[in-house]
Structure 1
């Protein structure tokens, strides 16, 4: 789906939904199309109401029938429904309606559109109903049937079947289904197929960790001791680059998910700050090659090639759009830290921020349109976003505490940031429209400096 110019300016986006009328395992049933208008322009929008109906057990080879609800459910069925609801709660344009809010309770006897009485759902203003069917085979294998049904026309929007399901697979299945749902509703995906790298402080050490946006699959990447900072993903999500502050010098570190190994490289001047990947696999980082702190292009063999941003002042925090044609960075070349934009083709540098006296840590959306950054205000650091097309600027976060280190997600819609609003720094999520912040569970210790990338391999 195209990125509409009015998407961030309180406009209404009409989302065209293609409703696939499918029978699990039976291809070639055709499809029908209808239009559902969904307001997804930011806080205050009309949310789409979704209900996750109670799970049903489906006899092998059957998908409806009044006896389904009398069959025993597997023990993990309830947990899976909670996983689905938890995932949906991360999408700010959706609202989960509990079954207890429906007049008469559960209006379904099965998992197909014809098994659901949509009238009470419509009365409760439910737009979408999700059904889960558990098919238990004679050999004990379990298949999971998932559908999302539109209550306004009773048709299947999404239908998926997952075979030979185990309990360990269920969170991932919930993620995949919700990713399909987000794609159909908004034309965007990536949230449930991504992971966040961050810096966790435990004691005196700072190490690099990764976690899913929902707080799953927490993993420690580095065990180098000391201070490790500024993680950044490669475009394919298979490598992480970060800085290690050694006892005598900074080291550029690259973690490879295929091998689990971390390469460490030093550079003349002994300074490496804020490394970042370009889409072509090269890197950029602040080095002190010539005495000044300038941003250099570094090739795949860790050789500095040329300066990308240089001046008498400190140039730091490079970040690139998906095309590699735009680089945002922080520079104090005019006296105070501000955000700048480099056109990689022409070499032309333009100033992005003009307000405030302290703007840092820029991140650019994959489509190259939006730049988010942290600004120091009288009440603390706050996250702002600048629309490069319209020139409009908007404050996204309002504390309390400090909000810092913004990082766009792969879809360009969500933004991760670190905040001390709870008393210690933790990772939170918002959107480029400033939706209420959601905490990302990252375990114990202080969590800062999020970097958001594709799932890749972990």
Structure 2
């Protein structure tokens, strides 16, 4: 007798119902739970109950020892900027913090011999000055301790609310100078939490701090997707007792329904220029991929399959769309020209592959593959090579690349809770973002710029 397949909750919600019926017997119970009382709040408010904490579980093979010394006058702000910078760098797995007592500003010439004795390869110092208008002047300098030279310095003036952002940008600068790769500490993530019968769509810094609630509902929220400019989020809400695709402005909370057709409306994905949305609709019968304008106009069908086509995602150049289809039997990932044409199968390893994500540099495909009753995250080089498993969990879902293409955020279950995890493309650098009071799922990494 075959073992019933247990899909993770948000995968059950995201996939079209026809694809679920031959797979799981719990789908009807899941969709029955949607018919609760409507209660939606669109105001962006602090999400204290959804704050995440970071737990590192892996580091890079070669870490840069760096001393981040206390900034002059940083005791005048709620959280010392040097602490945020050091935490960012250590969280990347590429840096090891060196004990750095005292204070060092950007105008002081450090005693390099002392820092060499502390085994530091790099050194950071800075200052925070409150201006007469209430803003803050933030300055820092980065030194190469081994060579005894300056590597760069910057200054910025910010309002109090942007002090954490200033610290994240300092960490980005240091990361790029020392690794050659752009940092992502100043970017944002969006994710969904569930606490009891309440669902919230949240926006937070990449480290999980500064969480804000963008949507509060008694009904499930799934498939958030950032617009390329980071100003809007598309998502699916079940607040009207059916799946409807909305686009919401991040700053104002204003939103519009862009797909509310007969049947299912799901899995929104933005084109790189932000002018087109790819969505999954079942308005003409089976679930297929459609394209529409960013306001829901000019709807046209892209795929013409007798199977189920879902979970579209654009390639970075906008020329292709990757999606999931069961046209060959089990779900596999395909690619089709965005202008229309023949679809090409991409995944061949494994009988059940879903949830594609393409790295911003266009080189890598992340997806979830079923192994028995487990779902695991895989990464495949699109230029060739075998897919590689990069997780040690078994309920993985919703992979999303960081804008530097070096990290992936995804959801899974760990110790009985739904949590978010990040991993490097080789699976060696990992961290968890967990909430003490809610299940966390449906992550998506935002673009550069804010």
TM-score range, shorter chain: 0.7 to 0.9
Matches within 5 A, 1:11-410: 45-56=61-72, 74-76=75-77, 79-99=80-100, 111-112=106-107, 115-134=109-128, 143-163=137-157, 168-189=161-182, 191-280=184-273, 281-303=275-297, 305-344=299-338, 347-378=341-372, 380-399=374-393, 401-410=394-403
Counterparts of 1:418 and 1:285 in 2: how far apart (Å)?
22
- Matched residue, 2:413: 420
Distance, in Å, in 2 between the alignment partners of 1:162 and 1:377 is 50
Change (3 A) 1:110 1:293: closer
Contact 2:199 2:216 in 1 (8 A): no
Cα 1:203–1:134 change in 2 (3 A) is closer
Give the TM-score normalised by the residue count of structure 2. Answer: 0.79
Deviation track 1:262-290 (CA, whole Å, cap 9, x = no partner) reads 21244443211211111232101110132
Q: Which runs of 5+ in 1 are unaligned?
A: 1-41, 58-72, 100-104
SS in 2 for 1:170: helix
Q: Alignment partner of 1:221: what SS?
A: strand
Native 8 Å contact 1:43 1:434 kept in 2:
no
2:136–2:160: 8 Å Cα contact kept in structure 1?
no
Q: 1:121 to 1:456 in 2, by over 3 A?
A: closer
How far off its partner does 1:408 sit? 0.8
Q: CA deviation at 1:247?
A: 4.8
Q: Once the 2 structures are TM-superposed, how far is the Cα of residue 380 of structure 1 from its aligned partner?
A: 2.3
Q: Mark the runs of 5 or more structure 2 residues left unpaired by the alignment.
A: 1-57
Q: Which has the larger radius of gyration?
A: 1
CA pair 384-266 structure 1, distance change in 2 beyond 3 A: closer
Alpha-carbon distance, 1:297 to partner: 0.7
TM-score of the superposition, structure 1-length normalised?
0.77
Moved more, 48-57 or 208-217: 48-57
Q: Measure the CA separation in 2 of the matches of 1:265 and 1:346.
A: 22
Aligned-residue offset at 1:134? 4.7
Report the 3-state secondary structure (helix = DSSP H, G, I; strand = E; otherwise coil) of the residue aligned with 2:81.
helix
Count of residues in Structure 1 that have an aligned counterpart in Structure 2: 392
- Distance, in Å, in 1 between the alignment partners of 2:265 and 2:442 is 16
Closer, same or farther: CA 211–137 of 1 in aligned 2, 3 Å? closer
Structure of higher RCO (CA pairs closer than 8 Å, 6+ residues apart): 2
RMSD: 2.8
- Structure 2 counterpart of 1:64: none
Mapped partners of 1:78, 1:212: distance in 2: 15
- The 1:442/1:219 distance shift into structure 2, 3 A limit, reads farther
- Tell me the distance in 2 between the aligned counterparts of 1:291 and 1:357: 25
